[in-house]
Amino acid sequence: MSCPILFDMDGVIADSWEPFFSFWSEVLINLGAEEMATEEQILALFEGNFFEELSHKVPGNWMQPAFLSHARLAHLQFMKKCPSIPHVSEGLQHLSQDFPLYLVTSNFAEAAEHFLENQNIGCFREVLGMEHSFSKTDKIRTVMKQHSDQPCYFISDTSGDLHEARKAGAIPVAAAWGWHDRPTLEAANPAFILDTPPELLEFRTHI
């Protein structure tokens, strides 16, 4: 069996920064954390685990079921309309012929499924969203258990994800076309960096 390749969604496959930023900046303003509602500050939350960073920086009991159901509806709506990053789907299609692919996202699984369906991307064995766990390390470990004799790769555009992948025992791979810039990704010491989506077609050369 071939090794599993896990993909982050937002920024790597889905071109979702604009609606994501618009939703979360409004949430932060409504919570009275205006100073956090900038692109720079929200991107910085992804240098760790997004949910953990958020709860440290904006303490309080606000992530309750009512908030989560409002967030779910907003994410469902914007992910339905979200375009994919050009040339990523060709790379996914190509890799899925030889490797089991998984989607590991902090987004809602249902929102991710809508996006994949609208974009005609049908190559993932499973989608592990935030309902599965807020921790990407946990989600990566869940997949790794199904392929325990194989190395596992996790491709992401944020440094926090690369750290979580390493913690899970997976090989962290950076995608430099997404939300974090190259220096931020380099600081997380990925095994290698893919600069553009067509490089997914050459992924095998790195294994």
The three state secondary structure string of the chain is: CCCCEEECCECCCECCHHHHHHHHHHHHHHCCCHHHCCHHHHHHHCCCCHHHHHHHHCCCCCCCHHHHHHHHHHHHHHHHHCCECCCHHHHHHHHHCCCCEEEECCCCHHHHHHHHHHCCCCCEEEEECCCCCCCHHHHHHHHHHCCCCCCCEEEECCHHHHHHHHHHCCEEEEECCCCCCHHHHHHCCCCEEECCHHHHHHHHHHC
Size of the site for ligand PGA (CB under 6 A): 13
Q: Of the listed pieces 84-92, 101-109, 147-155, 186-194, which binds ligand PGA according to CB under 6 A?
A: 101-109
Decide: is 107 part of the binding site for ligand PGA (CB under 6 A). yes
| Least distance in angstroms from the C-beta of 199 to ligand PGA | 18
Q: Please identify, using beta-carbon distances, which residue of 68 and 204 lies nearer to ligand PGA.
A: 68
Interaction residues for ligand PGA, span 10-39 (CB under 6 A):
10-11
Residue from the set 105, 119, 137, 184 that interacts with ligand PGA by CB under 6 A: 105
Q: Please identify, using beta-carbon distances, which residue of 2 and 68 lies nearer to ligand PGA.
A: 68
Contacts with ligand PGA, 144-173, as mask; x by CB under 6 A: ------------xxx--x------------
- Write the CB contacts of 47 (distance below 8 Å, at least 6 apart in sequence): 53, 158, 159, 160, 180, 184
| Least distance in angstroms from the C-beta of 204 to ligand PGA | 24
Interaction residues for ligand PGA, span 58-87 (CB under 6 A):
none
Decide: is 47 part of the binding site for ligand PGA (CB under 6 A). no
Decide: is 9 part of the binding site for ligand PGA (CB under 6 A). yes
Q: Kindly list the residues in this chain that would bind ligand PGA in the complex (CB under 6 A).
A: 8-11, 46, 105-107, 156-158, 161, 179
